[in-house]
A and B are shown apart, each in its own frame.
Chain A
Amino acid sequence: MRRFQAVSLMLTLTAATAAYAESALNVYSVNYPLQYFAQRIGGEHVNAVFPAPADVDPAYWVPDADVIGAYQQADLILLNGAGYASWMDKVSLPKRGQVNTSASFRDAYIPMADKVTHSHGPGGEHEHTGFAFTTWLDFVQAGQQAEAVCVAIKKSDPDRAADYEAGCQSVALDLAALDSAMMAVSRTYQGAPLMGSHPVYQYLARRYTLNLRSVHWEPHDTPTVEQWSEFRHTLSEHPARWMLWEAEPLAETAEQLEALGVRVVVFDPCGNRPDEGDWLSVMRSNIQALTDARSAH
């Protein structure tokens, strides 16, 4: 009798899982923040997928044909906009279901400063320009992106619009709280110079009026002699005491920075899934790290 009950339970669970998989909205995204928003908003009714491996930068990742095939089958494809995930320009995806989550503030995209003009052939001179794309580090913009996700999910599944509304409000509240907290921290810096290890903090710096300059260093690489020399030169003009890093740099790099009077502050943009926690907890940690760094000085 017990065995029969166990088998019945398993069959019921299998049927329920299959039914869920069939009825859940299949939402693919081009980065982790959008997947996080979609899952928070959609809850159990949404199967939010971000298929990039955990160890890649989603902005420069290029999916293979099988993964592109999975994107093609999705009910919704959430795009970050601002030129994020340039692989989108090189693959075939249906227009139906694509949502540019940053379309509402496309006029506020920040053009990239370093551009090289070149010319060849009959097309004449042209530039490979682009925009800064870590849009979600301005939490007001992140709120607008979450709102776009919310609208798209509700439109795709209007029967559950009421269910999704609770998720939308919850995400909006969390993002508003992050914005307030970040605003409060930024006031404590009062225009003090900051360095960024990578040009990914443009929107953060603009929204929270951080006096930030960026270099192009990778946490897992040791900066070259030329890079250190250039850095020292920058410090002479821009005497920063804090440097934002996407991840903890090599110990040797941190020591050299310390010797220059620059403290490492990890501010993870969290474009990909974190090892621990989720997007919200990582952003809270980021803000806490900035707060701690300021208090330490």
Chain B
Amino acid sequence: MRDSFYLAWQYIRFNRWKSITLLACVMIIAFLPLALELLLDESEKQLVDRATSTPLVVGARGSALDLVMNALYFGEQVPRRMTMAAADAIEATDLALPIPMYVRFRARGAPIVGTTLDYFDFRGLRIADGRNLAMMGECVLGAAVAEQLELQPGNDIVSSPENLFDLAGIYPLKMTVVGVLERAHSSDDLAIFVDIKTTWIIQGLGHGHQDMEKVTDPQSILGRSDTSITASAKLFHYTEITPDNVNSFHFHGGLAEYPITAVLVEPHDDKSGTILQGRYIGDEATEQIIRPREVVDELLANIFRIKNLLDAVILLVGLATLLAITLVFALSIRLRSREMDTVFRLGCRRATMVRLVGAEIVTIVAAGALAGLLAMLILQQFASELVRSLIIR
């Protein structure tokens, strides 16, 4: 038997490209369905864990899926905006702690999550390096973002404009990194956290500029009266918040009118949660309250319907590949007829030839399966990150 494997191995080495192709086919057939299963299991775990730990989410009426994906997983699709008054209204009920979220802007590809410090307690996030947010214009990075962007406390990061053509619109804000979070193995690892007021400054709703009552440059001031000052676009706006200029930053109008994308709601108890849900029933309500777990379950049901379809496709592709491999071996045997003749003339029996071909097939299939297993082990190591960065975003 050892001789058969020796000869098979020599044959495989001599026809290395054909053998590698066959091995790759076997590996893909073994790896694909298992990898799909693994990634879907990981997606389900991550989606369900986060959804279960978030009892209720309030957002503007519209797509519940967009709302949940943005509020919980910081997805790129920004749901319809509502105002901070929605969070204030929840607080006024004394039924729950509202945690406002404004997830709209990005910096170097990572989502900027505007929220309050309560979010860190709510998710159990802890600072690994540096300190937590203290002033506007500061940011705390998720562990993965800090690693990918090679940032640490003391460094700066600039917010990205929403589109390249908005030249006269939002000024990019230079934010100071004051802390890096411990790895949470969740979407929080991929986010940049700022105070919600900082996101309003990024949007241009709050800003800091020269004291208009002290500016003397006639090109900066278009008009001045006892009750009114009109400035031109030349008025210097700060693009970074520092201890020296923080007092010049201000917001126009009441903060209750400022935009947010969602409110994470932490009811004081089950009864409070139920009462609160009741307040959003009715056609006249402009906001919706949802249980993320229900939305995620619905999403997973759809994903598994698609998975069943994918399984069927993979099965068919697998069958086709197996048939192709069989054909390759059959053709290979036909191409090797002269070699077989030589083997028979040397006095070998037919069974010896079967053993030789069998050893070849077993070697290739075993090597393919082993390669598939190795790929699965590697995938398992990165599945959590992959799911967060490729699937949940």
Residues of A whose CB lies within 8 Å of any CB of B are: 62, 64-65, 68-69, 72, 89-96, 115-123, 125-126, 128
Contacts and interface: CB of A to CB of B under 8 A. Distances in A.
Tell me which of B135, B209, B231, B250 has the highest count of chain A C-beta atoms within 10 A of its own C-beta. Answer: B135
A96 B250 contact: no
B99 A95 contact: yes
Interface in B210-234: 212-213, 227-233
Given A92-B132, A92-B134, A120-B232, A126 B252 contact: yes
Contacts, number: 93
A119 B117 contact: no
> Chain A interface mostly helix, strand, loop or mixed?
mixed
Nearest to A63: B134
Nearest to A126: B252
Contact of B118 (A89, A96, A117, A126): A96
B118 A120 contact: no
B118 A68 contact: no
Given A92-B116, A94-B117, A120-B235, A69 B230 contact: no
A121 B237 CA distance: 10
Contacts of A95: 91, 97-99, 116-118
Contacts of A125: 228, 230
Given A91-B134, A95-B116, A118 B197 contact: no
B249 interface: yes
Interface of B: 91, 97-99, 116-118, 121, 131-136, 138, 169, 195, 197, 204-205, 207, 209, 212-213, 227-233, 235, 237, 243, 246-247, 249-253, 255
B228 A117 contact: yes
Given A65-B131, A72-B117, A96-B97, 7 more contacts: A90-B247, A90-B249, A95-B99, A118-B230, A120-B235, A121-B233, A125-B228
A94 B121 contact: yes
A123 B229 CA distance: 14
8 shortest A-B CB distances, which residue pairs?
A120-B231, A118-B229, A92-B133, A94-B117, A126-B252, A68-B134, A92-B195, A117-B228
Contacts of A118: 212, 228-231
A92 B231 contact: no
Contacts of A115: 227
B135 A90 contact: yes
Contacts of A122: 169, 204
A291 B172 CA distance: 58
A122 B237 CA distance: 13
A116 B227 CA distance: 5
Contact of A126 (B117, B133, B227, B253): B253
Contacts of A119: 228-231
A62 B136 CA distance: 13
14 contacts: A65-B134, A68-B134, A72-B132, A90-B197, A92-B134, A95-B91, A95-B97, A95-B117, A96-B121, A118-B230, A120-B233, A122-B204, A125-B230, A128-B250
